Amino acid sequence: MKFSRIPLAHLPTRIEHLGRLSNVLSGPQIYCKRDDQTGLGFGGNKTRKLEYLLADAIQHNARTLVSMGAIQSNHCRQVAAVAARAGLDCILVLSGTPPTLATGNLYLDQLFGAELVWAERETRQQVLEETVRRAEEMGRAPYMIPYGGSNVVGMLGYFDAMRELREDEERLGLRFDWHVTASSSGGTQAGMVLGALAWQYSGKILGIAIEGSAEELGATVENLVQEAITVNNLDLPFDQSLVIINENFTGAGYGVMGEPEIEAIRMFASLEGLLLDPVYTGRAAAGLIQLVRDGFFRKDDKVLFWHTGGTPALFAEPYLSKLQNR
């Protein structure tokens, strides 16, 4: 690979059999890849990406990491954590209104020492670019990390994850027929598809769209895979049919938790002692549960749910009141 990596994550992450959930749903056997336990700043999938992004930033002599996300962004929380670990400054462009009291991921952003810039969601990319320009003018040597860490550099974290998975399967004596993951900025799913190609993996990768359409997200994933193949001079037979996305569970939009997400979070917690987040894993798990009920998977399938983290958002309003028992 063209890009180098700085080890940050606690790897390999565990694979756990969700036996009680599988029995209640009366469908395939469901397992969970615990990428919520990658270790850095409460963990999550972005830590794998940041191993490559940090290495690239240091190679470019960066002194400030700059990125953007929503007010409860799991990605931004991990960017702030990696900046603290590396001794770099961090500027985060967050969409939303500054709250009176910081909770969840926002509280952790501040604890890690990140500087916060507020923007409207519609203009945050423009604000991000302006923030990078100002940092350059001030001599702060900024390195811009895109939304979700999803570019040809960051996605390599999940290229590596598929190699790790192949080793997991050999150790556990398992072969997974399906992988289910939250998909939003596209980098995690793109890295998984690229890794599956490289390690000749036959299991299907299903991205549950967190927002937007399958067409738009699919194009993003495909472009990332194709760009990575070109940049790294890989001789891999990529076919668009490998990018599978379900857009049927986006609900009322990004960050709006509905009954399916509430049910999924409760089921994972009460049956497996496993905490999901309201925005990403809660929605992806809701999609998984409904697909099992609809008979999408075969009874003898083995399905691996990738827990991409985000649990600090559970402790942020307005989610707490919605999750209380009724």
The answer to whether residues 198 and 159 touch, using CB atoms and an 8 Å cutoff, is yes
C-beta of residue 304 within 8 angstroms of C-beta of residue 15: yes
Please list the alpha-helical segments (H only) found in 182-258. Answer: 187-198, 214-231
Taking the C-alpha atoms of residue 76 and residue 74, their distance in angstroms, rounded to an integer, is 6
Asked if 321 is an active-site residue, the reply is: no
Please spell the DSSP secondary structure of 2-38, one letter per residue: -S-----S--SPPEEE-HHHHHHHTSSEEEEEEGGGS
The terminus-to-terminus CA distance of the chain in angstroms comes to: 52
Q: Do residues 243 and 218 lie in contact, with contact meaning Cβ atoms separated by under 8 Å?
A: yes
Single out the catalytic residue among 22, 73, 183, 185: 73
Number of H helices, E strands in the chain: 11, 10
CA dist., res. 324 & res. 292, Å (int): 25
Quote the strand ranges of the chain, DSSP E: 15-17, 29-34, 64-70, 89-95, 115-119, 142-144, 178-183, 204-209, 244-246, 302-307
Q: Catalytic amino acids?
A: 73
